[in-house]
Amino acid sequence: MILKDGRFQLKDEIYGVLKWLCLIALPALSVLISVVFKVWDIPYALQITTTINAVAVFIGALIGVSQISYNASQVAAATEDAEKK
């Protein structure tokens, strides 16, 4: 996590891992648990999958904030470069 000018940005490696977790791993895990728990009659499937989905949404929010911050810094840098020329 990087704070630049009060903006929240993630390093590329962290961003990539969190994006993979949010878009692929956690939703897949949620579906797997939902199906397997129902087939084997294991309790608390709803509570567990809801928690996993909430974590995925939270990670998605972090990614979104980081992306907005990154885009704003890119625009600011391009504007500064254009003004110098």
Q: What is the pLDDT of residues 21-74, one digit of tens each?
A: 999 999 999 999 999 999 999 999 999 999 999 999 999 998 988 777 777 777
Model pTM greater than 0.95?
no
Domain ranges of the chain: 2-84
Tens of pLDDT, residue by residue over 3-23, are 666 677 778 899 899 999 999
Q: What is the dihedral of CA 36, 38, 43, 46, to 10 degrees?
A: 90
Assess contact for 20 and 77: CB atoms under 8 A. Answer: no
Cα–Cα distance, 2 to 65 (Å, whole number): 12
Assess contact for 37 and 45: CB atoms under 8 A. Answer: yes
